[in-house]
Structure 1
Amino acid sequence: MNLDDWRSRINDLDNQILDLLTQRAEAALQIGDLKRRQDAPSYAPEREADIVRRLIEKNRGPLASDTVAAVWRQILSGCRAVEAPLTVAYLGPQATFTHQAALQRFGAAATFRPGRSIGEVFDDVERGRADVGVVPVENSTDGAVNVTLDRLIVSDTLICGELKLEITHHLLSRAAELDEVKRVVSHPQALAQCRGWLAEHLAEVATEDTLSTAVAAELAAADATVAAIASELAAQLYNVPVLESRIEDNPQNATRFLVVGRRPIGPTGRDKTSILFAMRNVPGALYRILEPLARDGINLTKIESRPAKQSPWEYVIFVDLEGHRDTPLVASVLREIGERTLYLKILGSYPAA
């Protein structure tokens, strides 16, 4: 076959794919109608996670599994929008890494609602202005996002998902060369994560904090002597060229995000459960509380402490563990932990990233 033959073959395949996508969307319409009649929630993250995992397991190449997952998330996004609109709150403005994470998880067909703060994202979900919210919870370089942890203590929302996003910083500017840059602007965290690169390449250039990387990109779009440290998404949305790529000091830098909603999520077979508890300030208290996890072979993936706001010098402990709260083993262990703590709150069970 020559080049024209192969292109004709691809055209035929594209037509078949479109026909199948149309059939899938029509099936989603019928499912949406059934869910409305049964008063069932339209968004089912456990079902979506199962679809993506099944296809990744079935994939034999040459497409990478990450590519297959990304393509199907857009398909799920489009079919979900046909079934019922989904509003996603996120820490804004647009082009922040949280926006990028929300797009990655929910696809372009969702309706996105930027919040001015993490607290506003929680408020939007709690008050029904959004179906779900996306918030950062920890960064591999800078550690826990304490504002998110503190809000989880008092919020009525439930964690219904998690995702991890590689954080890559780019230098955006309309300047043609580095020596034309007179000022570098970005969020303080982004500036700190690129400190080494800036010291090596722009040591004499002043830096300035902004409220977000998106605000920095706006400034760079308006002034050719300004360079912003921001994402590739910010470069696209604000139409600012990438002057230097991947300038972060730690190439392994990543942020974990949580998806919060208003309803519990069913088991998928590969889940996490997040809890928090308060304990007595006595020797061995933490060991005694966590001992059932080790005894029953349940893996603890994270532990973090935060001051209890109402009780000085006392702490709330956050724990992530493998498994779902509705499975018999995890349910039994959680009951036992509850008996050994002053207070136990189950923040949610959700598909593991």
Structure 2
Amino acid sequence: MLTKISASKQLTMSAPTQDTPGELPRLRARVDTLDAELVRLLNERASISVGIGLAKRKDAEKTGGVADEHIHRPSREMQIYERLETLNSGPLPTSAIQSIFREVMSASISLQKETTIAFLGPRGTYSHQAAFERFGDSCQYVEQETIKDVFDAVAGGSVTYGVVPFENSRFGSVQPTLDVFCALPGGKVQIRAEHYLAVHHVLLRNKDTTRGQIRKIYSHAQGFGQCQTFLNQHMRGVERVNVSSTAKAAELASREHGAAAICSLGCASIYGLDVEEKNIEDAADNTTRFFILGNASDMPSGNDRTLVFFTVDHRQPGALCDALNTLKTRNINLTKIDSRPSGQRPWHYFFFLELTGHMADEQVKAALADMNAFCLDITMLGSYPAQQP
């Protein structure tokens, strides 16, 4: 959110047309003083952050428990960003303030514990971009070949967190992510947070290829799905090849004459491609939602969502309706519903439900207990703060 500045305020902040003698050195000296104070305060904040980690471990030792290993707290992070918006009076926009604090928190996290983030690679994917937006420059990033590999890295403990695409505002759910959720042993991986990324697709071509020579376009299925209008108007008859990620598409196009890729603008410099066309997505508000994965969900924030998947006995008339009706009875709203083949037998499905509330909330626990009576099985995939723009 950008902070609006009134016309009168803009006038008072405008630089004078003529500096009085000695004014510029005085202002620069003031900036130097403020910089020194900022450095002192940043280090003081970082020291307190490290102290919080030590206090958690001491408290756990006193009670005979296990210290909470999670230093990325989505609920606390959301509180900080909301407070910054309240505190900010300009001239810096709130988005700039939040970006600065993202790096402050990233550095503090890295001081407490080495934090590694798995993402669908290679470098330059939208998953890579979403991961960096969320965790900042001080964490370590580990690329994975497939979405399943991201889940496996989190489940196996080789990384701290993982980032996977879940759904697009125009093209719907990311089916490979749903399929991995279906196959995952219960409790091994839990959703901790959601992250929304504005996605702007670019058509990049091999440097030795002109537009008229393009015979093949590589991209992820989501990339093709989000750019149908452009493709149908300008790239009729050009072969479309689905690959594991948009960055992989760029990598392949860089090696092949006559090839192009639909991917992010950042891939142009990473893979040495030329920009043919920018912003080719069907909708200007094209947005992809990502999930941050860990080995446990965060505590309730007061404004949460929970994702579950379940299956019912399809031979029982009204079984699905009965299961869903328990949520209505408890006054719990559904924000998403989807289905995927269960793989257990033909024409048998898993249903995905996203509902309002945290799985620790009494109302949610009661509703899911009621729902369980109509389900063959039900699995909790995690609860997370609602952060939809």
- TM-score normalised by length of structure 1: 0.88
Flag structure 2 segments of 5+ consecutive residues without an equivalent.
1-15, 61-66
CA contact (8 A) 2:211 2:276 kept: no
Percent of residue pairs identical: 36
How many angstroms apart in 2 are the aligned matches of 1:298 and 1:211?
Answer: 36
Letter in 1 for 2:323: I
CA contact (8 A) 1:272 1:322 kept: yes
Is the partner of 2:129 in helix, strand or coil?
Answer: helix
Deviation string for 1:185-218 (max 9, x for gaps)? 3314324433432454555866655543223333
Q: What is the aligned counterpart of 1:228 among 249, 261, 273?
A: 261
Which residue does 1:197 correspond to in 2? 230
Which residue does 1:301 correspond to in 2? 335
Deviates more, 1:57-66 or 1:130-139: 57-66
Relative to 1, partners in 2 of residues 1:238 and 1:153: Cα closer, same or farther, differing over 3 Å?
A: same
Q: What is the aligned counterpart of 1:170 among 190, 202, 220?
A: 202
How many angstroms apart in 1 are the aligned matches of 2:346 and 2:258?
Answer: 49
Is the partner of 2:85 in helix, strand or coil?
Answer: helix
- TM-score normalised by length of structure 2: 0.80
Deviation string for 1:275-316 (max 9, x for gaps)? 111112223222221223223322110011112211322221
- Equivalent residues in 2 for 1:57-206, closer than 5 Å: 57-155=86-184, 156-173=188-205, 179=211, 182-183=214-215, 185-189=217-221, 190-201=223-234
Relative to 1, partners in 2 of residues 1:244 and 1:146: Cα closer, same or farther, differing over 3 Å?
A: closer
Which residue does 1:326 correspond to in 2? 360
Relative to 1, partners in 2 of residues 1:240 and 1:179: Cα closer, same or farther, differing over 3 Å?
A: closer
Relative to 1, partners in 2 of residues 1:336 and 1:136: Cα closer, same or farther, differing over 3 Å?
A: same
How many angstroms apart in 1 are the aligned matches of 2:224 and 2:383?
Answer: 35
Deviation string for 1:234-290 (max 9, x for gaps)? 234345454432121222322211111112310111111111111122232222212
Deviates more, 1:99-108 or 1:335-344: 335-344
How many angstroms apart in 2 are the aligned matches of 1:297 and 1:73?
Answer: 36
CA contact (8 A) 2:194 2:384 kept: yes
Letter in 1 for 2:39: L
How many angstroms apart in 1 are the aligned matches of 2:173 and 2:237?
Answer: 32
- Equivalent residues in 2 for 1:242-321, closer than 5 Å: 242-281=275-314, 282-321=316-355
Q: Does 1:33 align with 2:54?
A: yes
Which residue does 1:339 correspond to in 2? 373
How many angstroms apart in 2 are the aligned matches of 1:235 and 1:12?
Answer: 41
How many angstroms apart in 1 are the aligned matches of 2:86 and 2:79?
Answer: 11
Letter in 1 for 2:349: Y
CA contact (8 A) 1:184 1:229 kept: no
CA contact (8 A) 2:125 2:247 kept: yes
Flag structure 1 segments of 5+ consecutive residues without an equivalent.
none
Give, in angstroms, the shift of residue 83 of structure 1: 1.3
Letter in 2 for 1:18: V
Q: Does 1:217 align with 2:260?
A: no
- Equivalent residues in 2 for 1:20-59, closer than 5 Å: 20-37=41-58, 38=60, 39-45=67-73, 46-59=75-88
Give, in angstroms, the shift of residue 226 of structure 1: 5.2
Is the partner of 1:263 in helix, strand or coil?
Answer: coil
CA contact (8 A) 2:217 2:262 kept: yes
Relative to 1, partners in 2 of residues 1:219 and 1:326: Cα closer, same or farther, differing over 3 Å?
A: closer
Which structure has the larger Rg?
2
Deviation string for 1:146-170 (max 9, x for gaps)? 2211221232211111112121112
CA contact (8 A) 2:182 2:342 kept: no
How many angstroms apart in 2 are the aligned matches of 1:60 and 1:136?
Answer: 34
How many angstroms apart in 1 are the aligned matches of 2:382 and 2:171?
Answer: 24
Is the partner of 1:100 in helix, strand or coil?
Answer: helix
Deviation string for 1:36-72 (max 9, x for gaps)? 4442214232322222233234444444444333332
Deviates more, 1:274-283 or 1:65-74: 65-74
Give, in angstroms, the shift of residue 126 of structure 1: 0.8
Deviates more, 1:123-132 or 1:60-69: 60-69
